[in-house]
Structure 1
């Protein structure tokens, strides 16, 4: 699982175009199968950005 927050003013992004972009640059096994777009990152109760659960520290 990879999570990223990218905010570019004036640029509209949809999941299909993002997947196509990745498919042009990555090996087929590395292209994400699922893409979820959110306006804001997921935050904890303390207001900190949450890490993905499977990310090694």
Structure 2
């Protein structure tokens, strides 16, 4: 199994819009052939940095 990890730096002030956009496409990502899971996590020390992982 391969796990893909993406570190995404979101423009300050647009974190909520980014999270909403990811929530909108999450069902498509999870339905993709071979996808076993998907997560989006916000950094604690740097809240505008989001980490997306999919396997």
What TM-score, normalized by structure 2, do the two folds share?
0.36
More strand by share: 2
What TM-score, normalized by structure 1, do the two folds share?
0.35
More helix by share: 2
